[in-house]
Amino acid sequence: MKIIIGNRTYSSWSLRGWLAAKQSLLPFETELRVMDSPEWISGAAKTDMPSGKVPVLWDHGEAIWDSMAILLYLADKAGHDRFWPRDTKARGLAYAMCAEMHSGFAPLRAGCPMDLQRHAPRFQPTPEIMADVRRIEQLWETALTRFGAETGEPWLFGRFGAADIMFAPVCTRIDTYHLPVSDAARAYVDLCLAHPFMAEWRAEAMKEDFPFTRYDVPGLEKR
Ligand SMILES: N[C@@H](CCC(=O)N[C@@H](CS)C(=O)NCC(=O)O)C(=O)O
């Protein structure tokens, strides 16, 4: 399998798709397409990207695009236990949380774009961004206390899985923009950022040096 991703520093959707590929434990290659490069802008870099967006997974000549579809496909292929909790109630909540993450939280996404190389210590979040953060804290707390805690493992539903993958870019945003969160949420953010897959992605991101200003936010400075 091959996964096509965008710049690791900025592409939160790519991060999700790539984490799903890692979590599948199936062998795969990663191919980077430099966002906003001349080839990206002309479309030459996108001829094997059906939606014109990253990430895209290619498997035996078939393209699976969109991070959520990639995750679902890999769960079918690698086994649902690597992605979803077994308990029906827990699974229902995990599906709902992933769907809400995939389609929602526009103010947080737009106002706090993922940026792994910089941070904004004096960032002033809007009320809309903080409303998203409060909702996410609530979701995390529900998952962690209802389902995560009883397994004795620290992830949202016990073992690391789909919900953790879907919310991973949110963890980077809370960290990058110093968004105020509860101690429990911050502990979860730190856990997520320390995951070996996240550390691997971040290490590669820190080597990137491509010109890219699309997601510039005032106040961002090099770490
Ligand atoms: N819902 C899609 C969104 C993918 C997406 O918007 N990717 C961005 C980069 S993070 C992209 O490729 N945008 C097209 C462009 O920049 O031209 C997914 O989950 O994969």
Domain 85-201 is found in CATH 1.10.1500.10: no
| Protein residue with its CA nearest to atom 15 in ligand 1 | 53
Q: Is residue 98 lining ligand 1, measured as CB closer than 6 Å? A: no
Please, are residues 45 and 33 in contact by the beta-carbon 8 Å criterion? yes
Domain 2-80 belongs to what architecture? 3-Layer(aba) Sandwich (3.40)
- pLDDT tens, N- to C-terminus, the chain (223 residues): 999 999 999 999 999 999 999 999 999 999 999 999 999 999 999 999 999 999 999 999 999 999 999 999 999 999 999 999 999 999 999 999 999 999 999 999 999 999 999 999 999 999 999 999 999 999 999 999 998 777 888 999 999 999 999 999 999 999 999 999 999 999 999 999 999 999 999 999 999 999 888 989 999 999 9
**And the tokens for 185?**
């949420």
Distance CA 72, CA 41 (A): 29
pTM reported for the whole predicted model: 0.97
Please choose, from the candidates 172, 160, 161, the residue with its C-alpha nearest in 3D space to the C-alpha of residue 136. 172
66 CA distance to ligand 1 middle (Å):
8
How do residues 95-105 score in pLDDT, each as one tens digit? 999 999 999 99
Measure Cα distances from 112 to 8, 12, 53, 61, 128 in Å. Answer: 16, 11, 20, 36, 12
Q: Where are the domains of the chain?
A: 2-80, 85-201
DSSP codes joined into one string, 58-90: EETTEEEESHHHHHHHHHHHH-GGGTS-SSHHH
Q: Is 84 in the pocket of ligand 1 (CB under 6 A)?
A: no
Closest to 167 (Cα-Cα) out of 146, 191, 150: 191
C-alpha dihedral over 109, 111, 115, 116, to 10 degrees? -80
Query: 97: helix, coil or strand?
Result: helix
What's the 148 CA to ligand 1 centre distance in angstroms?
30
Distance 55 CA to ligand 1 centre (A): 7
